[in-house]
Amino acid sequence: MKRLKAITISIGDELLSGKTLDSNNAFISQQLEMIGIPVRKKLIIGDIAQDIKDALDLAFSQADVVTLTGGLGPTHDDITKSVLCEYFDVGLKLYPEILETLKHRFVRRGFKFSESNRSQAEYPENASLLENPFGTAQGMQINYQGKHLFVMAGVPREMEIVTTGQIIPFLTELTQSSIAIIDIHSIGVPESALYELTKPVFNDYSDLKIAYLPKQGMVTIRVSFPSISPDEDQKLKNEIFTRIRDIKPKNIYGRDDELLPVLIGELLQKNNATVATAESCTGGLVASLITDISGSSEYFQTGYVTYANETKMSMLDVQEQTLIEHGAVSENTVSEMLSGTLKNSGADYAVAISGVAGPTGGSEEKPVGTVFIGVAHKEHQNIRRFQFGGNRILNKEMSAYSSLNMLRLLIGETTQ
């Protein structure tokens, strides 16, 4: 069978201006690559009708699979659907069931349903709809002269769920390709170092395709190979994961859907335990990550956001003298935050963070990016000093995920 090729198109003036980064094309390319469909070109165009038509002409002339994201909203500058109707010479079709769902959603949220929102229930007549559970703009699939066009909203979260949930399964079956994939998750090891550590293991296997995907101080290793059979695929995945994990067991924390917040929840539930958090520089991000998981009410006790020294003292019993002598960003302060969290919340485990998120506030002794992170269980505490970079948001994210990994390790130590 002919190997399919793809072109991805992103629409939006904000992408051309640089005000918004185009992450959609990158995500779609990675997903297509994993099932053996290479992307020949990535196009970024503005909200101009003729430019969209020209991009489609080019894509259909050079590719079998075309993805298009953006321009599906209800405002005047969202022209994708009208341009598609002109391009394919079709009209718009109203979906009454979608219209009623939209009206109920607006009423439920206390908003007035305006006439402009009616367009969210109208789609080109030649399109098959792809359900978007996270938004009002449904995805579309249009078959044209033996080619496949997939149209999605530009919001990354909405694009991702449609891509992974509907487009990739369809294309996998269409190409009759069978690719086995395993994602191996790590934290606290630079991408270059991880590459050097894992290279000898991967060299022992043939037909592996390896991709290192860094994000927020973490790196996911995506390993793909031609499928043999379900049992043999699983056996090989298990073998590869075990060998990689054994290289750095404190840093290789999971595989596939085993993300840190998910693992924390599973470990706490397995041991019938609870956790509470005390956060300064992260501003509640750790608590947010934990409670992003459905069912977290069974194991998450409470979260203290003690940004000011006064709240560290009043809510967590941190001693004023400790703050005077050692400062808020110190091992001593985090130690008392941990003790106060366990005592006042009644939880089995505690997480505490205090640091200099930046870009200001640093000193020679404690430069921007200095963060003390602690985890505790009964009388046992583990506190580490981290030195991150100068980006405030990244420092918060890396602190939060590092704390979850420390909690994962502590739960393992205290439940053996």
Between CA 388 and CA 395 the distance in angstroms is 6
Q: What is the pLDDT of residues 240-291, one digit of tens each?
A: 999 999 999 999 999 998 999 999 999 999 999 999 999 999 999 999 999 9
Residue 406 is predicted with a pLDDT of: 98
Residue 176 is predicted with a pLDDT of: 64
Same-fold call for 6-175 versus 179-255: no
Residue 311 is predicted with a pLDDT of: 98
**Domain boundary assignment for the chain:** 6-175, 179-255, 260-414
CATH no. for 179-255: 3.30.70.2860
Joined together, the tokens standing for residue 315 give 């809510």
Q: Which residues of the chain have pLDDT under 50?
A: none
CATH no. for 6-175: 3.40.980.10
392: left (phi over 0), alpha (psi -120 to 50) or beta: alpha
Phi, psi of 148 (to 5 degrees): -120, 120
- Give residue for tokens 């699979």: 65
Pick from 145, 129, 158: nearest CA to 56: 145
CATH class for domain 260-414? alpha beta
Q: What is the pLDDT of residues 343-354, one digit of tens each?
A: 999 999 999 999
